[in-house]
Amino acid sequence: MPDFYDDDARLTRPRIVALALSAALVALLSLIILTAPGDLERLNLVARERLTESGVANPVTAVLLNFRGYDTLLEVAVLLLAVIGIWSMARYARVWIKVPDTPVLAAFVRLVLPLMVLVSGYLLWLGADAPGGAFQGGAVLGGMGILWIAAAVWLPDFQFQRFARVMLVLGLIAFVGASTLLLALEGSFMEYPAGEAKNWILVIESAAMISIGMTLMMLFVGGIPRLNEGTV
Amino acid sequence: MPQDLAFWLPVVIAVPLMAAVLAFLLPRAAFPISLGAALITSGLVCWAALAAVNAGPATHTVGGWSAPLGIDLVLDGLSGLLLVLTAIIGLAITVYAHGYFQPGDDLVKQHQYNFFWPLWMFLWASLNALFLSADVFNLYVTLELLGFSAVALTALAGKPTVLKAAMRYLMVSLSGSLFYLMGVVFLYAQFGTLDIRLLSAASAETPTLLASAALITTGLIMKSALFPLHFWLPPAHANAAAPVSALLSALVVKGSLYIVLRLWLEVFYPLADTVAPQVLSVLGVGAVLWGSLQAMQQPRLKLLIAYSTVAQLGYMFLLMPILLKNRDDSTALAATMSFVFAHAVAKAAAFLSAGSILHALKDDRLTALSGLMKKMPVTTAAFAMAGISLIALPPSAGFLAKYQMLQSALTNGYWGLVFVVIGGGLLAAVYIMRVLGPAFKKVEPYGAESTSKAVHVPLVMSIPTLALALLAIVISFMGVYLLELLAVGTPWVLKGGL
């Protein structure tokens, strides 16, 4: 039975054979894809053509939140599922924090946290016209949460769990709720009313950003936050 | 609010998805929320299937952006049949799980109970989304959702063996998804679209299509555990909690199987004359033989049932050559789908009975089952009925499906398959009798603690088990309706390049 945490890196004969076969497969696939009479521009052109109807000026945001917003809805579900999956396996998060012996880190974190909130909000807003949006903003928020914990300025305890649950589901609730509401209003799941797309997208993205940030933070915690209950 | 069918398609995805969120947010109300969602989803799916039979296939344009820019949801015969199957089994398992995970005072059990509901609702939503999607990239996202919820549900049982099995399952599921995704990249590189119908219209036999078909098929049969890529299935399915085993064996492996069928019928059909369909068929033969032989040797009931799944999955690939080469003859597809339906219902019933046995006896070694009929008459009867369908004795659903398979194989001159189908049934009889033989014994040879006293199984567990088992027998009487549903939209017969 293979061990998944195998760190044996010797080049045994079966491994060399596997390596050679993989290399051959990569070469073959590369050859096929490089000689294929591609049509990669077609969808790109269609998307750019209809960009003005999407409510945003950044084609990436238009695809993620409008044209193929349904994909993103399911991806937001995957993120929530990741945390639920981890919580289902780890009933208690480890208590992993050693309070840092220098006050510098704590002071630095106190200084930088408000700035990170500001940056995440800015990134979200920026997403309408330039690279940015809920995922980038959420990443900054998540980083903020991790810094917060790492500096032991504050540690997530059991009470925090309820707050975390709400923040975790916010994005998916906003996404599914808005899409269903739009289904009732416009007759199509996630069909934004003409000219109002930007507002809807902004609401969904704000909620998603908060959830993404909390998701990343909870992935770092690695289990149900429960500070004073000992370690398992 | 419009009453047309297409309007309601996203609702069968949104309802379980919302239920998953709420069940996570409000753990104390998780069961009522999930049961409510299960009832609404099942009702809606059955209504939609009936409506589709009368009104034809339906397309919902998500976001109002039609393909190729946006994503469409399509309900036709193939997807409708699997949605109905999921609804029936999903409802039964929802009820059963409430009894099985009953927490009492146990904190660990409480934890399992709390997390089962959101994960199961995510799984249901992902299955519905998968069956309805008409976009190959969107299918990838649904596969991820399906894979992660299935792995988390497997790991829920918490024992070291199951964690190891779940870890392996995760690795297989992830690599399967990545193979699939790479195949999607190839499709997009050549045809510039992700919509299945547009791909179908543009499809042509090129090296890119061949590479894409190879990557996608490999990834998906890995996820569907087709022999010899089945190695991960028995430990995962046998060690998971019984309701989860039933979900995995009855429904989850069918998700990737559905994509194989859909894509080969609609996109990869120019490759039907290559050796690929034969290869799949031969692997199917291997699965029937290997899975059955392994099932004959297993010491534990749940492992036996899991290996039976390996064997039965083989049948679903047997008719691939006929299915893909004679696309004007839909008997092969009908037979395969009948088999999928019959297997799912019987296998769910078998795993749920095994769960009840394990629940009552705390032991599922075959040696502990002697005299079981007296102790647990309802559960034993349910298992026997499921077994009859797995062996394919008349008038069970399994019999009807295999009859259709034989008919299709004979009319198309595939004589070899006749032996496999009949031989596989005999092998199934052997391993099912390993369970039923001792169970119906009157005298108990090793009567130490296992007295003949009846053992209590809560009604919430025995009723859904029995209902599925009965269905495994009587569904053949409803076969006509299922075939009528399957015929809705028949895209592979009427369109494409042939």
- Name the residue ranges covered by the structural domains of chain B: 5-494
Using CB atoms, pick whichever of A70, A75, A81 lies closest to residue B71.
Answer: A70
Cα distance between residue B59 and residue B7, in whole Å: 9
pTM recorded for the entire structure: 0.93
pLDDT at B311: 95
pLDDT tens-place string over residues B433-454: 999 988 888 755 555 455 555 6
Check: CB of residue B49 under 8 Å from CB of residue B80. yes
More confident of the two residues A34 and B418: B418
The answer to whether residue A39 scores a pLDDT higher than 60 is yes
* pLDDT band for position A92 (cuts 50, 70, 90): low
From B255's Cα to the closest Cα of chain A, the distance in A is 16
Counted across chains A and B, CB pairs separated by less than 8 A come out at 168
From A214's Cα to the closest Cα of chain B, the distance in A is 15
Residue B461 Cα distances to A64, A182, A229, B351, B472, angstroms: 44, 40, 35, 12, 17
Contacts of A189 in chain B (CB under 8 A): 10, 14, 60, 62-63, 73
A90 part of contact set with chain B, CB < 8 Å: no
The answer to whether residue B250 scores a pLDDT higher than 50 is yes
Check: CB of residue B63 under 8 Å from CB of residue A188. yes
Arithmetic mean of pLDDT, B338-348: 94
pLDDT tens-place string over residues A96-133: 556 666 778 888 888 999 999 999 999 999 888 888 88
pLDDT at A98: 60
pLDDT at A129: 82
Cα distance between residue A128 and residue A64, in whole Å: 11
Contact A169 B21 (CB under 8 A): yes
Contact A36 B71 (CB under 8 A): no
Contact B69 A166 (CB under 8 A): no
pLDDT at A179: 95
pLDDT at B310: 96
Contacts of B317 (CB under 8 A, 6+ apart): B221, B226, B280, B281, B283, B284, B287
The answer to whether residue B252 scores a pLDDT higher than 90 is yes
Check: CB of residue B242 under 8 Å from CB of residue B352. yes
More confident of the two residues A6 and B294: B294
From B93's Cα to the closest Cα of chain A, the distance in A is 19
Q: In degrees to the nearest 10, what's the CA dihedral of B128, B130, B134, B138?
A: 130
ipTM value: 0.92
The answer to whether residue A168 scores a pLDDT higher than 90 is yes
Arithmetic mean of pLDDT, B102-106: 80
From B138's Cα to the closest Cα of chain A, the distance in A is 6
pLDDT tens-place string over residues B40-74: 999 999 999 999 998 889 999 998 888 788 999 99
Instruction: Average the pLDDT over each of B39-43, B192-196, B293-297, B493-497 and give the range with the smallest value.
Output: B493-497
Contacts of B175 in chain A (CB under 8 A): none
Please say whether the dihedral angle defined by the alpha carbons of residues B232, B236, B238 and B244, taken in this order, is positive or negative.
negative
pLDDT at B338: 92
pLDDT at A229: 43
A68 part of contact set with chain B, CB < 8 Å: yes
Contacts of B24 in chain A (CB under 8 A): 80, 84, 165, 168-169
pLDDT at A100: 64
Q: From B433, B434, B431, B405, select the one nearest B420 (Cα to Cα).
A: B405
A198 part of contact set with chain B, CB < 8 Å: no
Question: Taking the domains of chain A in order of start, what are their residue ranges?
Answer: 13-229
Mean per-residue pLDDT over chain A, rounded: 84
- Beta bridge partner(s), residue B59: B74
pLDDT tens-place string over residues B352-371: 999 999 888 888 888 888 88
Cα distance between residue A167 and residue A206, in whole Å: 11
A39 to chain B: nearest residue by CA?
B192
From A92's Cα to the closest Cα of chain B, the distance in A is 11
The answer to whether residue A19 scores a pLDDT higher than 70 is yes
Check: CB of residue B383 under 8 Å from CB of residue B354. yes
The answer to whether residue A194 scores a pLDDT higher than 60 is yes
CB atoms within 10 A of CB B357: 27
Q: In degrees to the nearest 10, what's the CA dihedral of A84, B123, B178, B62?
A: -110
- Percent of all residues in chain B with a pLDDT value above 90, rounded to a whole number: 69
Token reading at A186: 């416009």
Cα distance between residue A223 and residue A186, in whole Å: 41
Instruction: Average the pLDDT over each of B212-221, B401-410, B445-454 and give the range with the smallest value.
Output: B445-454
Check: CB of residue A160 under 8 Å from CB of residue A135. no
Terminal Cα-to-Cα distance of chain A (whole angstroms) = 27
Mean per-residue pLDDT over chain B, rounded: 90
CB atoms within 10 A of CB B418: 13
pLDDT tens-place string over residues B371-380: 888 888 899 9
Terminal Cα-to-Cα distance of chain B (whole angstroms) = 40
The answer to whether residue B103 scores a pLDDT higher than 90 is no
pLDDT at A141: 94
Q: Give the 3-state secondary structure of residue A1.
A: coil
pLDDT tens-place string over residues B80-94: 999 999 999 999 999
